Amino acid sequence: MTIMISQMNNPEEILSIARDDQRILADSEEKRQRIRSWLYEKGFGSLIIARRENFAWLSTGGDAAVVNSTQNSIGCLLITRDKQYLISHVMDGIRLMEEQLPGQNYELVDLHWYEGEPIDKALELASTNMVADISIPGIKNVFSDILDLHYPMTDFEIGRIRWLGTALHSVFVKMTDFIRAGIRETEIAAEFQYQQSILGISSDVLITGSDDRIFRYRHPMPTGKIIEKYIMLHSASRMWGLHAPVTRLYSIGEPEDYFSRPFKAVAEIQARVFDCLKLGESYMKILENLKNWYSETGYKDEWRNHFQGGPTGYVIVDAVRCLTQKTIQINTPFEWFITVPGSKTAELALLGAEGLEIASNGDLWPQYSVKLNGVEYKMPGIYII
């Protein structure tokens, strides 16, 4: 048995779906039902959604950002047991209703900029027993509870994130025609951003490190350094609010052992994690296994120097889930950051009813094969330019 990339059906159809498509409307309605069931179960009267990732989840891909550097939306959503509101300033309210929330039956409450903040208006409209997904004095912050409601993802969301993984793989392949010795890390980052943007994809994180910087830093952000031989490129790419954090390694000419050895270690650890991604497995148990696997590959205690991963989706990764007894669910995308000095691997994996898919891998990239328990895991190797 081989675990490889899943095949994406009708990728152009995925991109052409309008915001008021019945599939989006049904999907967003399911999310509101999850929230209302949760409100009844917990005894709360209403929920204020202010964070961008929760706006995207609840609206099935809507974007409520103008300032990209903030984690909060420009407006907020208020869900009560029988009503739903969009509360925003007038400069954005109608646009959000027409372009991000069409057909989702929100009642618009808009304010002029001098009339106060949307959050304050939401507090006026909410019930006395309200909660929120951000910190508000006197209000319980239930962000982690709402994040749990993201999973399992719907089939519609899985189709989208599968497309994102496949599209991102194609961008990494295109970069092989651009990367060469003598250019700067910032040039690679700019080209990667361009290749993504023409597909409608952006990066919440973009790491571009080369040569000795890969060994010195876990997050070598792009600088003006001239590239000599080795490149590590990592993007936490986003579309429809969904993320695909992926890492690729490039070598200009055959890689030397000091670069290949740490790569083989992280690839083998990553494959072992994939082998554990089964319904009901504990995230905490995976972390305990990871500690042993780092030691077995000659990198004892390196697990301490970077968070290890967990479910992805509307958040880049819920890494603290590895410190809990929460368990793996079907229809969940995953991101595991396996990293040691000199190398890193990160792949978008999807666990569906039929098993595990590595959605960010593909045949146009060299493969490094790891066999475990009768399963062959084909991991992206080092691309030699």
Phi (first) and psi of residue 262, to 5 degrees: -65, -30
Confidence of residue 9 (pLDDT cuts 50, 70, 90): low
Q: CA 289 to CA 294: how far, in whole Å?
A: 9
Task: Tell me whether the CATH fold assigned to 14-149 matches the one assigned to 155-384.
Answer: no
175 secondary structure, DSSP code: G
Give percent of the chain above pLDDT 90: 93
pLDDT of residue 127: 84
pTM over 0.85: yes
Strands 130-132 and 46-51: parallel
Quick check: 384 and 251 in contact, CB under 8 A? yes
Domain borders along the chain are 14-149, 155-384
pLDDT of residue 69: 80
CATH superfamily name and code, 155-384: Creatinase/methionine aminopeptidase superfamily (3.90.230.10)
DSSP bridge pairs for 108: 86
297 secondary structure, DSSP code: T
Q: What is the mean pLDDT of the chain?
A: 95
- Give residue-wise pLDDT tens across range 15-48: 889 999 999 999 999 999 999 999 999 999 999 9
Task: Please say whether the structural domain 14-149 has been given the CATH code 3.20.20.70.
Answer: no
- Give residue-wise pLDDT tens across range 245-271: 999 999 999 999 999 999 999 999 999
Q: DSSP for 107-133, please give it.
A: EEEEE-GGG--HHHHHHHHS-SSEEES
First CA to last CA distance, the chain: 31
pLDDT of residue 196: 97
